[in-house]
Amino acid sequence: MTTTSPEAQRYADPRVALDVTSDSVDLLLRHRSVRRFRPDAVADAQLRTIVAAAQSAPTSSNLQPWSVVAVRDPERKARLAHLAADQRFVAENGLLLIWVADLGRARRLACRHGTDLAAADYLETTLIAFIDTALAAQNAVVAAESLGLGTVFVGAIRDHPKQVAAELALPPHTVAAFGLALGVPDPDAPAGIKPRLPQQAVLHHEQYDAVTADAELPAYDRRLAAYRASYGLSGDWTTRVLARLRGPESMAGRHLLREVLQRRGLPSR
């Protein structure tokens, strides 16, 4: 394997070179999704540090509208893995965190104080809960990786939100937003750095310029196809995006999310 900078790997383009960096940037650039872990448990001391990092992320109006459930029980992990597309890494990891978009804490406060909380009926507030949960969880990823752990998000935790809520005893006005599996990466199954879109495809100056941005997509299709081919997989980016978003049949039940959120007390008015 050739020695290349993390940014050249990130863009699968040897011409990319960043002029400014830091140790933390280097850590961020080297992120990869780890789906195979050694059996070692993530220690409670590591968990406390990871959650403190998560809580240090920005949050809209200091609302802190999220919670996290740490799952260690192997049987519970196995049941959650079954609900999340039977993905092995949901069961086999050093720690499973379920990140919860949580407007329940504020709703309970309002109930105890006998006041209205009508803003929580609106999609805007539900979005804030998901955004702030994501900001916190990404800090958790960075913290975990800085401690030598590997991570992977589990969006499939939204495939069966009602059953996941029952498994975790989630109260009203809360929903599992996504999972995060953590652990010591299995050295026998190293994960690759997934190439991303050229920066010119996502970064605009002053105004959005779709023509210039989209002109980068064919080159990216070739790079991603080559990366996938190196793992014995076929398909370029365009093909995979179009397949993933084709229609409700490609959504593993998540086309029902709006109704599920409504029933869980997170309406989208």
Site for its own copies in 195-224 (CB under 8 A): 196-197, 199, 201-210, 213-214, 217, 224
Q: Estimate the crossing angle of helix 44-55 against helix 123-146, to 10 degrees.
A: 130
232 binds its own copies (CB under 8 A): no
Q: Which helix (H) or strand (E) holds 174?
A: strand 174-183
- 68-127 binders of its own copies (CB under 8 A): 68-73, 76, 100, 102, 104-106, 108-110, 113, 115-120, 122-125, 127
Task: Go through the chain and tell me how many residues it has.
Answer: 269
Of 92 and 100, the one with the shorter C-beta distance to its own copies is: 100
How far is the CA of 269 from the CAs of 118, 133, 207, 235, 238, in angstroms?
10, 20, 31, 39, 33
226 binds its own copies (CB under 8 A): no
- 13-32 binders of its own copies (CB under 8 A): 16, 18-25, 27-31
150 binds its own copies (CB under 8 A): no
134 binds its own copies (CB under 8 A): yes
Choose, by CB under 8 A, the member of 46, 83, 91, 182 that binds its own copies.
46
Task: With CA atoms as reference, report the closest residue to 142 among 18, 51, 12.
Answer: 51
Task: Check: CB of residue 226 under 8 Å from CB of residue 247.
Answer: no
Of 71 and 91, the one with the shorter C-beta distance to its own copies is: 71
152 binds its own copies (CB under 8 A): yes
Task: Check: CB of residue 126 under 8 Å from CB of residue 261.
Answer: yes
